Amino acid sequence: AVKIVAGVLIILAALGLAHAAARSDTTGRFFRHRRRVSKGLTNIDIAVDKAASTLISKQSLPDGYTLRRAIESDCQSILDMIIELAVYEKEPESVLVTVGTLKKDGFGKEKYFYGFIAEDEDGNPVGFALFYIAYSTWEGRCVYLEDLYVRPAHRRAGLGGAVLEGLARVARELDCARLVWQALDWNTPAHNFYEKIGALKHPEWLTYRMYRREIGAFLSSAEGQGGGG
């Protein structure tokens, strides 16, 4: 009888451990990832890690999803989602970056962007956000969100809002004056979502751009006029 009871207790204990392991797998994946890449982090990397861990611990993410800092091995997935977003925005031909570009610019000696990766319960990438630190001469540091994308099958679950919460936490952790992004004028669903969460639309500012061709033409003109300095 003692052996039977002991056997039952062992089985129950094993079941309990298995349940606990399954329940904590999402959080465990995040912290194992963070330990693996703990060296050479900037204060921005640390802020991203802290924001992601806070969202996980306070259960701000939809069930079955996790959020973590983007790492170099994510670059192919990031590029795939950049292209998906460009297709949605009707400009797939405008994507010129490559996996190599992303690796160099985001994970090289000098870092020009930072990112979040959202994953489903199987560890598949289902969304991303890329941002960098900009500067306002009026207000100081700001977080500039370049891209936020969630794959169609995973929308309307609150994942986009959770990623924006992560970005807001990064902005607060870095004592930034504001979080800034742009939206296409025809993307009404995005406008409605952003205004619903309290973002302010600025009606007076227009965006101007010079691409490589325009930069080259401008400099050629300036140098031709003796204005190279």
For the stretch 24-79, pLDDT in tens is 454 454 445 444 445 668 899 999 999 999 998 888 899 999 999 999 999 999 99
**pTM of the entire predicted model:** 0.79
Annotated catalytic residue 144: no
Contact 114, 47 (CB under 8 A): no
- Does 2 map to a domain? no
Residue type, 16: G
101-104 long-range Cβ contacts below 8 angstroms, 24+ apart: 102/75, 102/78, 103/72, 103/75
Identify the residue whose tokens are 């963070």.
34
Q: Which of 144, 194, 208, 211 is catalytic?
A: 194
**Which of 174, 149, 72, 77 is closest to 113 using CA atoms?**
72
Beta pairing partners, 118:
67, 127
- State the first-to-last Cα distance of the chain, in angstroms, to the nearest integer: 93
Question: What is the SS3 assignment for 148-181?
Answer: EEECHHHCCCCHHHHHHHHHHHHHHHCCCCEEEC
- Does 161 map to a domain? yes
How does pLDDT run across 94-115, given as a tens digit for each residue? Answer: 999 999 999 999 999 999 999 9
Q: Domain containing 152: what range?
A: 25-224
Q: Domains in the chain: how many in total? A: 1
Domain containing residue 215: CATH number: 3.40.630.30
